[in-house]
Chains A and B, each alone.
Chain A
Amino acid sequence: MAAAASGSASTTCKTHRLIASPLPKPYSTSSTQLPFKFTSRATAAPTSISCSLTRDSAALQMDDKNDNGAFPVLPRPDSFGRFGKYGGKYVPETLMHALAELEAAFHALANDEEFQKELNGILKDYVGRETPLYFAERLTEHYKRPNGEGPHVYLKREDLNHTGAHKINNAVAQALLAKKLGKKRIIAETGAGQHGVATATVCARFGLQCIIYMGAQDMERQALNVFRMRLLGAEVRPVHSGTATLKDATSEAIRDWVTNVETTHYILGSVAGPHPYPMMVRDFHKVIGRETRKQALEKWGGKPDVLVACVGGGSNAMGLFHEFVDDKDVRLIGVEAAGFGLDSGKHAATLTKGEVGVLHGAMSYLLQDDDGQIIEPHSISAGLDYPGVGPEHSFLKDMGRAEYYSITDEEALEAFKRLSRLEGIIPALETSHALAYLEKLCPTLPDGAKVVLNCSGRGDKDVQTAIKHLKL
């Protein structure tokens, strides 16, 4: 399988090529089969569909690193939206055409200078980019070992963006895209409310009708954000079905899109969902990593050694990681929510405890029970409280390119306090998970190792939750 880089067919079943499926259609390309493994009772004949992509990816890891140790350049994603076996477009037929249209528009605009110029202008003057790469002096001091050695910790200040989180990078770009598509109605899902606020913000900025779906339970714990969305002119619709949290809000947003696809654009908030969303949302956030490379070069004349980011759906992490995925000497670390603990059954550590399945249009790791029903996750931070994860993260995990760990509610709260006390920055509870992981990571790093942590949001929205839990 050294031909891994030879085209999109390589990321799907080996046996698929033997079968030579005749589908010369523009809308369906290489991936015509479910790229998952299932064992047949009889021994698999060469033409049976026993494609095991885990087998493929393992083979890739071991045999296919080229001479300088870099991974072969696999399409991320391929033309069907697959990252290895993950991703794809598992949606009702009604949406397939809209997804194809969206992808075509995205590619066209990616090469459109006017669009890029307009977008960059807005990112600069409205969002406030570029965000600083800040050397966290006292946090670094905190991690110094008795002999004075320790890593250098930098924070990429996405919390300084307009609306207080990285979410706006994607919201702004998608709103512009929607305008180019002639869509006047915008819908979005939201968990904590940050993506909802970002979407309401850009809709106000661009004069678009805005409807946000939010789980009824989430609306209660993030009342401040609900108010902000309404103040910005959005309609916030409570979702009572299922568990009344983020996953149900996402399902409801998808249903709205299925129904109103001709007039409506769905601004999905993370690198999850059906293709082209994981690719699009990553691309709209990749500015984070791009700036980081430039800033690292300016500050210390090199690259970061380790990148750390929290992972809910995975958008801020992909935004930081993407630039560096092909730099094998940069370690990528994602931190998920372990809630009450990995063995408690109340967590959101999808990549650690989940299994592969299909949710909200993508094949990825997800938290499910024995019957394939999606489990309600738990995290103190609403933004990490998602039972799925972006398919590209599932892929990076399987490939061994990125490492994923998890942090409990308690550890996150400690880190929330720590950054506030040591740097005068109150981080979002989501970001606090990444910060908490530094406690475990830094003691293992060599002296002078450069760590860049994505400070994905600020914590003003979380003070009420913190008040309940912290005795100050």
Chain B
Amino acid sequence: MATFLRYTNTSVTGFQLKNPQNPFYLHSHSQTRTLSTQKRLVTPMAALSITPTTNISHTFRKLKDQGKVAFIPYITAGDPDLSTTAQALKMLDSYGSDVIELGVPFSDPIQDGPVIQASATRSLARGTNFNAIMSMLKEVVPQLSCPIVLFSYLNPILKHGVEKFMHNIMDVGVHGLVVPDAPFEVTESLRQEAVKNKIELALLTTPTTPTDRMKDIVEASEGFVYLVSSVGVTGVRESVNEQVPTLLREIREATSKPVAVGFGLSKPEHLKKVAEWGADGVIVGSAIVKVLGEAKCPKEGLRELETFIKSLKSALL
């Protein structure tokens, strides 16, 4: 049976800041059969309501009503291994992620910089494959309160068959999909199958996208609009591209759909800035992948991840 835990807004803030030990942390590191056993400590201090995860659009709508900016971390499935990914997903969820992006590793990720490339290579070297990711998600998604957006290059999707792929990811509870090397022109057929399976296909727009084209992209994008903050591949950057406010403004003139900004964001200051500029969500990828994937061991990676997430999340409060 799927059970979902959802924090109410007032409790979340207080809880996380005051309690270093999260009583809702669902299982311990030491357990290898982590997917099937859960430890739950319910304290009377938190107000809990159990609701099913909702889709991406709905999540953004709720946050907007609350005047909040979505915190969207990205991790690569299977780096360092799927069991750690499962734990990381739960941790990211419990520390206040609003949407989580999960990357399907690909052998030739042309949109990704060295950090995420390396994470894909590590994951594939361990034998991560689509079916294994789906099995993991089938167990884990019911334990999450925030929706998952899958991030996959086009070839693996085509290999599985678009219809089968969409059906499979829907089946394990995924709500959204981003395909970085499918240009707008070909997304219509992807979208038709996605819609049938209630998957929201979010499209990317970038600083080099001409305005007319951007308008078509945001019109067709579902769930949210992914604004790539800079001209380049994924990877940590020192500062945020100063073009972002202008790009956000242009997008707002074209659509009322939520806009999440990603690529390069790695520090609390970045998130604060982007939130002030009016983004509806901030996506942090390489910085998180680096912490998790390059740690001495998974246990330490998860520990460092916890600290990092808290510091990032605090910038949005």
Contact = CB atoms under 8 A, between A and B. Distances in A.
Interface in B220-259: 228, 231-233
Contacts of B232: 94, 258-259
A251 B107 CA distance: 10
Contacts of B130: 371-372
Contacts of A361: 110, 181
Interface stretch (A35-43, A117-125, A411-419, A439-447): A35-43
Contacts, number: 158
A255 B233 contact: yes
Contacts of B228: 93-94
A241 interface: yes
Contact of A372 (B155, B188, B189): B155
B216 A23 contact: yes
A355 B159 CA distance: 9
A357 to B, nearest CB: 5
Contacts of A34: 158, 162, 182, 186, 189-190
B113 A255 contact: yes
Interface in A17-59: 21, 23, 25, 27-28, 31-34, 36, 38-41, 49
Interface string B77-115: 000000000000000000000000000001111111110
**Residue picked from B106, B110, B130, B216, most chain A C-beta under 10 Å:** B110
A360 B110 contact: yes
Dominant SS among interface residues on chain A: loop
A49 B189 contact: yes
Interface in A293-326: none
Contacts of B162: 34, 38
Nearest to A92: B111
Contacts of B154: 90, 358
A242 B206 contact: no
B184 interface: yes
A438 interface: no
A358 B208 contact: no
Interface in B125-159: 129-130, 153-159
Given A32-B185, A39-B163, A372 B157 contact: yes
Interface string A370-408: 111110000000000000000000000000000000000
A269 to B, nearest CB: 16
B180 interface: yes
B205 interface: yes
A95 B111 CA distance: 10
A169 interface: no
A255 B263 CA distance: 14
Contacts of B108: 242, 247-248, 251, 359-360, 374
B114 A241 contact: yes
Contacts of B155: 357-359, 366, 368, 372, 374
Given A25-B213, A255-B113, A31 B185 contact: yes
B244 to A, nearest CB: 15
Contact of B110 (A41, A255, A261): A255
B210 interface: yes
Contact of A92 (B106, B129, B181, B212): B181
A95 B231 CA distance: 9
Contacts of A33: 186, 188-189
A90 B181 contact: yes
A284 B164 CA distance: 41
Contact of A368 (B121, B124, B159, B231): B159
Contacts of A359: 108, 155
Given A248-B108, A255-B110, A261-B231, A93 B184 contact: yes
Contacts of B159: 355, 357, 368, 370-372
B156 A372 contact: yes
Interface residues of B, number: 55
A32 B191 CA distance: 12
B38 interface: no
Interface residues of A, number: 53
**Residue picked from A25, A36, A255, most chain B C-beta under 10 Å:** A255
A196 interface: no
B209 interface: yes
A19 to B, nearest CB: 9
A359 to B, nearest CB: 6
**Residue picked from B114, B184, B185, B233, most chain A C-beta under 10 Å:** B185
A94 B206 contact: yes
A36 B160 CA distance: 12
Nearest to B163: A38
A94 B110 contact: no
Contact of B158 (A23, A36, A92, A98): A36
B183 A96 contact: yes
Contacts of A89: 183, 185
Nearest to A373: B107
A32 B184 CA distance: 8
A28 B117 CA distance: 31
Contacts of B185: 28, 31-32, 80, 89
A366 B118 CA distance: 23
A187 interface: no
A88 interface: yes
Given A28-B184, A254-B110, A241 B208 contact: no
B204 A373 contact: no
Given A32-B188, A360-B110, A372-B160, A91 B231 contact: no
A205 interface: no
B192 interface: yes
A373 B203 CA distance: 23
A39 B209 CA distance: 34
A96 B113 CA distance: 19
A92 B109 contact: no
A95 B181 CA distance: 10
Nearest to A49: B189
A145 interface: no
Interface string A67-104: 00000000000001000000011111111111000000
A377 B180 CA distance: 25
A89 B181 CA distance: 9
A260 B232 CA distance: 7
Given A254-B110, A358-B155, A41 B163 contact: yes
Nearest to A30: B185
A27 B283 CA distance: 29
Contacts of A88: 186
A49 B192 contact: yes
A259 B231 contact: yes
Contact of B213 (A38, A96, A241, A357): A96
Given A96-B208, A241-B114, 5 more contacts: A92-B204, A93-B203, A254-B110, A262-B208, A372-B130
Interface of A: 21, 23, 25, 27-28, 31-34, 36, 38-41, 49, 80, 88-98, 241-242, 247-248, 251, 254-255, 258-262, 355-361, 366, 368, 370-374
19 contacts: A21-B188, A32-B188, A33-B188, A80-B185, A90-B182, A91-B181, A92-B233, A93-B203, A94-B207, A251-B110, A255-B112, A258-B111, A258-B233, A261-B208, A368-B159, A371-B159, A372-B160, A373-B107, A373-B124
